[in-house]
Amino acid sequence: MTPLVWSELTAAEQRAALARPAARRSPELVAGVTAIIEEVRDGGWNALVRIAERIDGRAPEKVTVAPIAAAARAALPPQDVAAIELAARNISAFHEASRPSDTLVETMPGLTVEKAWRPLDRVGLYVPGGATPLFSTLLMLALPARAAGVSEIIVVTPPSEHGLAPAIALAAELCGIQAVWTVGGAQAVAALAFGAGDIPAVPKVCGPGNAWVAEAKTQVSALPGGPAIDMPAGPSELMVIADEGASPSMVAADLLSQAEHDASAQVLLVTTDAILAARIAEEVAQQVAMLPRADLARQSLEHGRTIIARSLDEAAVIANTYAPEHLCLAVDNPEPMVRAVSNAGAIFAGHAAAESFGDYLAGSSHVLPTDGAARAWSGITVQSFMKAISIQRVSVEAGRALAAPAAALARLEALEAHARAAEARAG
């Protein structure tokens, strides 16, 4: 992570400094995902089984949660179970309190317009699994969906060595989910999009994943009649903005916490202090050697950058340009920067705000937009699992008052039938 002085870079060099890893959307990956989607769409359950056996080594299975969750409760240390339950309580509390209220406005006498929120009937949730089953992601998806009032939640996750990971089963039980499908990758997204066997098609697919999963979500959502998706949510990314008051060891730990996720993950350090940057680099080198996933973290660090900014104001500009999934403000006075940053999935304000707290139990969802999508997309909220319906109520008197101006506006657009429909209410 050789330091780059932002003010000395050309515009092209600045773009290159903030570029995401190219492997996230290589032509080979795009073509591979397209082939999987088409195979599942055309071949249904049998195609899904073939692909899953080839990639995961086993056929998809609908696994009942209760017995595995009970075994997990018995096997896990009590403090681990208590930590999962604390996370579930905090996530539920935040999202229950975040439910949107209906809005009713009388825009003129006799005319009211209402925005009424309704839960989606069914959603599909993708939970990363396999070697690192992310039970926390299930909590971060299913509990907001429950708070929204979704009646049917379909969960898919890559199988672990023995099928469904115990921690995911326990998380599912806490979310009121009775069964989970052990199937992952682009094939799982395709199954949710089109339906396959007993896996029903869903109107919306939510959840993060690797580059294959992210690309599959993008492709199925672009198809005619395809499902909506929550957001682009691919490999993890983190930017840390640090001033001279930051702890080099804590900043290094935060950077590595995301680097260990995936070889395509990206971590960036922006600081006003070149000496601090060197100390953080030393800490990263020391700490990465002690990680169980050191090789993976080192691959991720190859995509990392250290950027020297002239001021925290310039650092905020860099953050808004990059639009990180996670943004840690390791600065003494974070509030001015909180107000200055408009493009970020989640902000962790101040030295004590570890990104890991947000990953597990602060309360807001850790499912966040990546690849710059934070410029326009939000992370998972209760509203992610709801839709707003507008309702117009018009009295006879208001209908008469509206008829002539509505007809005039329609004729300005050369839509005569619209005008006549309005005039029919003139009385």
Catalytic positions: 325-326
Q: Which residues contact 307 (CB under 8 A, 6 or more apart)?
A: 3, 4, 5, 6, 17, 268, 269, 270, 271, 318
- Containing 360, the helix (H) or strand (E) segment is helix 355-360
Burial state string for 94-111 with b = 16 or more CB within 10 A and e = fewer than 16: bbeeebeeeeeeeeeebb
Q: At what angle do helices 396-412 and 416-423 cross, to 10 degrees?
A: 160
- How many Å apart are CA 192 and CA 52, to the nearest integer? 14
Q: At what angle do helices 211-222 and 27-55 cross, to 10 degrees?
A: 100
- How many Å apart are CA 217 and CA 228, to the nearest integer? 9
Give the residue carrying structure tokens 């429909």: 421
In this structure, are strands 266-271 and 237-242 parallel, antiparallel, or unpaired? parallel
- How many Å apart are CA 267 and CA 390, to the nearest integer? 42
Q: Which residues contact 351 (CB under 8 A, 6 or more apart)?
A: 245, 246, 247, 250, 330, 331, 332
196: alpha, beta or left? (left if phi > 0; alpha if psi -120 to 50): beta
Residue 36 amino acid letter: I
